[in-house]
Structure 1
């Protein structure tokens, strides 16, 4: 980035309980995102200001766009193929963990069209995992996680970034786009768990320079990290809990940020009344369009 830091602006005051998984749809020129606790899928069209909400029947952690104009969704009970009105087309896989404490959380389509999706252990027991979904079903790639988060692929698809949010750590893995195999993990960056605000890495995206943008839950800011793990920028967000970032707009130079308001104390919400809203900022370096999920792969 050059010049002054961009300033985040509220673009949609939707009061999401737990906004997550923003995703730019280039064909519709719209941004999709979910409200996990609100059990809803949102669609926002920046040019017209149109905003539609589709209710779903259970907690919904993430979505991806698919070939065939549907959505792939990680929910509490499993991974589903959904119509764009939120109705279920078919269930693709069960959640292999105990739904009393586990639901699907962050997800991302890989360069070949598979869906990578992780879970959250809501009891903080370190039993969550990261999975790959293709026509053979779910394959576990990582286990022993607390909250699987922050998925992002390099431009060549050979590097996967992944955060375990309560451990304040982002790890970089070698990834084989041909097979979907994961290997050779190394720490990419680690936040200070002893910081006053306990800001920790949540959802993420990469720009075309290979820099990793991450939302800091409880940190009231987002960060940009260089490909070699150096902190390049911090930008404040007028909500205590930013949850995820996504590039959008025709030139992919608008960075959207979802936020949360669920469980936040009333004095905090009085100071940040737009918590749960969708924010945006203009950036110099664009992002990339996300691949489409292929349910027949």
Structure 2
């Protein structure tokens, strides 16, 4: 098995780094420091990390077109002008609920956006997972404590998600034309007896699911039948979410966090909150564009 080489991509320290998404048109990785309301941006080829202050908690980004992005925030979906950074509310999500914020979210191959929410204090069952497509919003799952691992097979027939608090990574059939779930959810991976928690995930062209293990100091890869294929050690305790990056989508970027650690714990985890690159042959793919209308 080829060894994975892990390096620091950005040494900008996020309290809660999340939501990485790569734009192949600009060779830029975007990600968030959720609790500090910041959108981070850096070219894969190098240079400084740009920090965009959003003024509210935000957690996920999708490409609409060359000039616009869709950002999931604590009050809903905002259209962001790439040139100016200006944000305009498009669709409110739990905007009247100050308890919750957005969390893990990802675009289905058809252009639908699955958007997860959760309580800012992680109280039990306060979150949900929504489906947004061409201006329509529906709630798919409720009573979620920490929404995570939203990702899809390349052909759009399978969706994955978890409530991190349960330790169960779920799988459900999807209508590939709409991104709506069909039938009942089934357990894909039971992680309850393993170290750490299931956090963000992404699925490659081979159907392999790559999962960041919060508290487990690892990224794990699972086959389409749920078999653990490999475990890549990470230099931080709280890896949070992976994304495919590079001109061929053949590398992984992984965010991390120091949230919840005291000063002593942070000293023992000095790179916590940085963002990493994993060099490993991976058959990745680019995120689909989101359809807002």
Match of 1:204 in 2: 201
SS in 2 for 1:50: strand
Provide the rounded CA distance (Å) in 2 between the counterparts of 1:83 and 1:190. Answer: 41
| Cα distance, 1:72 vs structure 2 | 0.9
Provide the rounded CA distance (Å) in 2 between the counterparts of 1:174 and 1:236. Answer: 31
TM-score by length of 2: 0.94
> How well do the aligned residues superpose, as a CA RMSD in angstroms?
1.6
SS in 1 for 2:265: helix
For structure 2, list consecutive stretches of 5 or more residues without a partner in the other structure.
none
Give yes or no for contact 1:209–1:285 (8 Å, CA) kept in 2.
no
Provide the rounded CA distance (Å) in 2 between the counterparts of 1:284 and 1:55. Answer: 34
| Cα distance, 1:294 vs structure 2 | 2.0
Provide the rounded CA distance (Å) in 2 between the counterparts of 1:49 and 1:286. Answer: 26
Match of 1:25 in 2: 23
Give yes or no for contact 2:251–2:282 (8 Å, CA) kept in 1.
no
- Between the two proteins, the alignment pairs up a number of residues equal to 290
Give yes or no for contact 1:41–1:86 (8 Å, CA) kept in 2.
no
Match of 2:216 in 1: 219
| Cα distance, 1:111 vs structure 2 | 1.5
Deviates more, 1:97-106 or 1:25-34: 97-106
1:78 lines up with 2:76 in the alignment? yes
| Cα distance, 1:239 vs structure 2 | 1.1
The match for 1:256 among 224, 246, 253 is: 253
1:66 lines up with 2:68 in the alignment? no
Give yes or no for contact 1:214–1:244 (8 Å, CA) kept in 2.
yes
Give yes or no for contact 2:75–2:96 (8 Å, CA) kept in 1.
no
TM-score by length of 1: 0.92
For structure 1, list consecutive stretches of 5 or more residues without a partner in the other structure.
none
| Cα distance, 1:150 vs structure 2 | 0.6
Provide the rounded CA distance (Å) in 2 between the counterparts of 1:30 and 1:123. Answer: 31
SS in 2 for 1:173: strand
SS in 2 for 1:294: coil
| Cα distance, 1:115 vs structure 2 | 1.4
Give yes or no for contact 1:56–1:87 (8 Å, CA) kept in 2.
no
SS in 2 for 1:8: strand
Give yes or no for contact 2:254–2:276 (8 Å, CA) kept in 1.
yes
Match of 2:50 in 1: 52
Provide the rounded CA distance (Å) in 1 between the counterparts of 2:135 and 2:267. Answer: 49
| Cα distance, 1:47 vs structure 2 | 1.2
| Cα distance, 1:77 vs structure 2 | 1.2
Provide the rounded CA distance (Å) in 2 between the counterparts of 1:106 and 1:188. Answer: 18
Give yes or no for contact 2:219–2:231 (8 Å, CA) kept in 1.
yes
Match of 1:131 in 2: 130
Matches within 5 A, 1:34-183: 34-84=32-82, 85-88=84-87, 90-96=88-94, 99-121=97-119, 122-183=121-182
Give yes or no for contact 2:252–2:278 (8 Å, CA) kept in 1.
yes
Provide the rounded CA distance (Å) in 2 between the counterparts of 1:9 and 1:116. Answer: 30
Give yes or no for contact 2:154–2:207 (8 Å, CA) kept in 1.
yes
| Cα distance, 1:222 vs structure 2 | 0.9
| Cα distance, 1:46 vs structure 2 | 2.2
Q: Name the CA shift for 1:295/1:13 in 2 (closer, same or farther; >3 Å).
A: same
Q: Name the CA shift for 1:123/1:19 in 2 (closer, same or farther; >3 Å).
A: closer
Give yes or no for contact 1:18–1:35 (8 Å, CA) kept in 2.
yes
Provide the rounded CA distance (Å) in 1 between the counterparts of 2:278 and 2:210. Answer: 13
SS in 1 for 2:240: strand
The match for 1:277 among 274, 278, 281 is: 274
| Cα distance, 1:267 vs structure 2 | 2.0
